[in-house]
Amino acid sequence: MVDAAPPAPESAWEYAPAPESREIVSIAPGYGLFINGEFTPAADGKHFTTLNPATEEPLAEVAEAGERDVDRAVAAARTAFERTWGPMPGTDRAKYLYRIARAIQERAREFAVLESLDNGKPIKESRDVDVPLAAAHFFYHAGWADKLEHAGFGPQPRPLGVAGQVIPWNFPLLMAAWKLAPALAAGNTCVLKPAETTPLTALLLAEVIQQAGLPPGTVNILTGDGATGQALVSHPGVDKIAFTGSTEVGKEILRAVAGTGRKLTLELGGKAANVVFDDAPLDQAVEGIVNGIFFNQGHVCCAGSRLLVQESVADMVLDRLKRRLGTLRLGDPLDKNTDIGAINSRQQLDKIEQLTAAGEAEGAQRWSPPCLLPTAGYWFPPTVFSGVSQSHRIAREEIFGPVLSVLTFRTPEEAVAKANNTPYGLSAGVWTDKGSRILWMTQRLRAGVVWANTYNRFDPASPFGGYRESGFGREGGRHGLAAYIDG
């Protein structure tokens, strides 16, 4: 007689906590504005508190820039443009950009921990995505700085002047790199405004910029809220405006800039379709769906927030997806095991709760894996809505949270029609075994970026941007540089 195999243990394998130490980073009690190469208090002495969204613990007091500070920063950027950075040969600008890239690499752990503390994103994302990509953007653009004459911009490409740049809270350091690196490579000087809830890594970047010895005034960093952003984008001394954020604010900026002759690029919201055909490698597709919407708590403009799945495999995909979501770990952003971190602010959590309540009220079926939410801080469980119809708000509005709306289709034509049924046009994903179908789909999807059998892939050499309500202009690659060159 053979003994029966022992029964499988009932409890799942538990992960022991693996918290990253926060000792690597020293957060000062207060921070000034970075103007003309120095940290300085706001002219009217105003400041605000930045919080850790995972605990609601205050991290630091940060200066709030007003109109006089914007004047000072723009004047410093103008002087640097005319006297030092603007006239500097590209070969020298390249060296400074390399130095910044190297310093970000050397201080990578510090940046990653600080980003996770101030933003709430899991350390494995800040460590493996945000910080290395930020360094890569500076490396990539350092390579362009001395080659602009050969890049098809004419024999003597000229920078635009002073760039006013406003960024959001979802990728604070990375968005700063996306804005600063191409502007500086092309010979512009910058005034950058980080988001109110996530100013700390931009201020650490200011330290790196000091460390790299950039001429004073080349980069100025003004912390503050929407009013600071508004004062910057409407300042007459700014020659070029680059904005990433909500479509609503983007439209406001567009109205303010219209007729002034100043250059503008807008990278706004999205409601991307992630389209899964029945011949797709389904396990890979499930990983792509998870990465598409649950990466960075869904705080991603190009998030695959609408899953369009072919009806014949819809039940199977949904089952596998639910099983996979049951394995995601939500909790302490500094724990290296964590997959889903905190929602960035109370305001954003309210918006997610409001829209998900609307989804239920309109008749979609809501599902989340069993998941204990921490008692302090801002948290939302990974959530899937099935039975979603195109008219539901959760299928039309950008939720900007870990919430997936599932719709089905029968034919490729129907998939295209549904994917394009949105005022946005930033990104899309296609999962299929057939190369010809990928090409057929990409020709028809109205989106600035289409990923095939992958999702949320970023590279500094690859232009990123949208059209329609997702904005205009490109960031990254040669196209991104063009936005900072006159002509």
Catalytic residues: 267, 301
Place of tokens 């997936």: 404
Q: Which is nearer to ligand NDP, 217 or 269 (CB)?
A: 269
CB of 450 to ligand NDP, least distance (A): 18
CB of 398 to ligand NDP, least distance (A): 4
CB of 328 to ligand NDP, least distance (A): 22
CB of 193 to ligand NDP, least distance (A): 6
Q: Which is nearer to ligand NDP, 55 or 246 (CB)?
A: 246
Interstrand relation of 306-310 and 273-276 (parallel, antiparallel or unpaired): parallel
Neighbouring C-beta atoms of residue 283, cutoff 10 Å: 10
Segment (H or E) for 312:
helix 311-325
Q: Which is nearer to ligand NDP, 224 or 429 (CB)?
A: 224
Q: Which is nearer to ligand NDP, 59 or 253 (CB)?
A: 253
CB of 446 to ligand NDP, least distance (A): 17
Three-class secondary structure of residue 214 per DSSP: coil
Residues that bind ligand NDP (CB under 6 A): 166-170, 193, 195-196, 225-226, 229-230, 233, 244-246, 249, 252-253, 268-269, 301, 348, 351, 398, 400
Nearest 10 degrees: CA dihedral of 264, 265, 266, 270? Answer: 150
CB of 483 to ligand NDP, least distance (A): 17
Long-range pairs for 349-354 at CB < 8 Å and ≥24 separation? 349/378, 349/379, 349/380, 349/401, 351/399, 351/400, 351/401, 352/380, 352/399, 352/400, 352/401, 352/402, 352/403, 353/380
Q: Which is nearer to ligand NDP, 77 or 249 (CB)?
A: 249
Token code pair at residue 338: 């964590």
Q: Which is nearer to ligand NDP, 194 or 333 (CB)?
A: 194
Residues 6 or more apart whose Cβ sits within 8 Å of residue 4 = none
Segment (H or E) for 227:
helix 226-233
The torsion angles phi and psi of 334, rounded to 5 degrees, stand at -85, -5
Asked whether the beta carbons of 379 and 326 are under 8 A apart, the reply is no
